[in-house]
Amino acid sequence: MLLFFSNFARQLPRVAILTVFSGLFCGLMMHYAPGAQVDDRELNLRLNQQSIETIRAEKAMQGRLGSVVAQYIGRLRHGDLGYSQSQSAPVGELIRQNAPATAHELLFGLTGSWLLALGLAIPFGASSAYKVFDMAAALLSGLLLSLPTALLAYLCLSSTSLAGAGVDLVFVLALAPRIFRVVKNLLREAYSASPVQMCRALGIGELRILVRQVLPSVGSPLLALAATSVAMALGVAIPIESICDVAGLGRLAWQAALSRDLFLLINLTMLMALTTSLAMAAADAIRSSGQRVSPKSSRMTQRTSAMSAGSESLALEPAV
């Protein structure tokens, strides 16, 4: 555990740099995008010339990237994330209102995806006898992986039988195939190891082998995959929330991009970059910590090795 925290702490400067550069890059993209200085509020016929001039002055101020960055940093020192022109509300308040909904969707979506992926990967990884079902699962996961997340959300939204399932089903359909393929390959490699083969030869139960041999050997890669799946879930949250029209940071980011809301989009980009970078840093720290065999697993391996060595010595003894 201490090794993990030490490796994770070494990743924090990189996380901070990536977060800051993501905000700067977002500001540059917004600044040099075609039509960046055009505001759709000018098309409102109810506005007088003074209001239009005020809007143009605000756009001209936002066109100076250096002044915008200095203004943003000055506000950030006081805990002010800026004001959203498209939503007519402070950015901090918008994030606080929409973050719980996205966190709820990520929690249920990741939980359902992992349960489905593990429930399918354990039997397929433990045995290769059911080749027909294995091929069917591979084809189905490949089909779901080939479909865009927005199309999955649209199909679930337009289907009357699946409309009541909500956003959680779309998260499961988008994430479970990615997790299933990696977990199945990890379990298949673990089940092909010689200690597992010796345990099976000695008649030890499959559940005991799974708990004491297989899961400890793939524990570190699974934890790294769990951290990486958080970043994957954030990536699919934007199209899912936008297509299904549910509250959350994903839909808020999509609306900010459409309305070219500079401060809102920069803050959301930095927030998602921070969450993704922390998840990837945790995954890298878990990988670099190395795989450690649990005491129960090592005792079982030593016991099976001793029993197999004893049986080999008995077989090699000459008959009296």
User: Is the separation of the CB atoms in 201 and 210 below 8 Å?
Assistant: no
Residue 189, helix vs strand vs coil: helix
pLDDT digits (tens, 9 = 90+) for 216-250: 888 888 888 888 888 888 888 888 888 888 888 88
The residue-averaged pLDDT of 200-228 equals: 85
Q: Which two tokens stand for residue 194?
A: 């010689």
pLDDT score recorded for residue 196: 84
Is 50 exceeded by the pLDDT of residue 283?
yes
Is 50 exceeded by the pLDDT of residue 310?
no
Is 80 exceeded by the pLDDT of residue 20?
yes
The full set of domains in the chain, from first to last, is 2-28+94-289+296-305 (1.10.3720.10)
Instruction: Give the integer Cα–Cα distance in Å for 62 and 9.
Output: 36
Instruction: Give the integer Cα–Cα distance in Å for 215 and 207.
Output: 11
pLDDT score recorded for residue 115: 92
Q: Which two tokens stand for residue 55?
A: 């809007």
Is 60 exceeded by the pLDDT of residue 313?
no
Query: Sorting pLDDT into bands at 50, 70 and 90, what band is 293?
Result: very low
Higher pLDDT, 69 or 244: 244
pLDDT score recorded for residue 72: 74
Is 70 exceeded by the pLDDT of residue 290?
no
Q: Let me know how many helices (H) and strands (E) the chain has, helices first.
A: 14, 2
**Average of per-residue pLDDT values in the chain:** 77
3-7, 18-22, 62-66, 226-230: least confident range: 62-66
Query: Sorting pLDDT into bands at 50, 70 and 90, what band is 63?
Result: low
pLDDT digits (tens, 9 = 90+) for 116-135: 888 888 887 777 666 777 78
User: Is the separation of the CB atoms in 110 and 171 below 8 Å?
Assistant: yes
**Alpha helix ranges (H) inside 77-130:** 91-126
pLDDT score recorded for residue 303: 45
Beta-strand ranges (E) seen in the chain are: 83-84, 89-90
pLDDT score recorded for residue 40: 62
**Which residues lie closer than 8 Å to 46 by C-beta, 6 or more apart?**
none
pLDDT digits (tens, 9 = 90+) for 132-185: 777 887 788 888 888 888 888 887 777 545 544 567 788 888 888 889 888 888
pLDDT score recorded for residue 298: 44
pLDDT score recorded for residue 165: 59
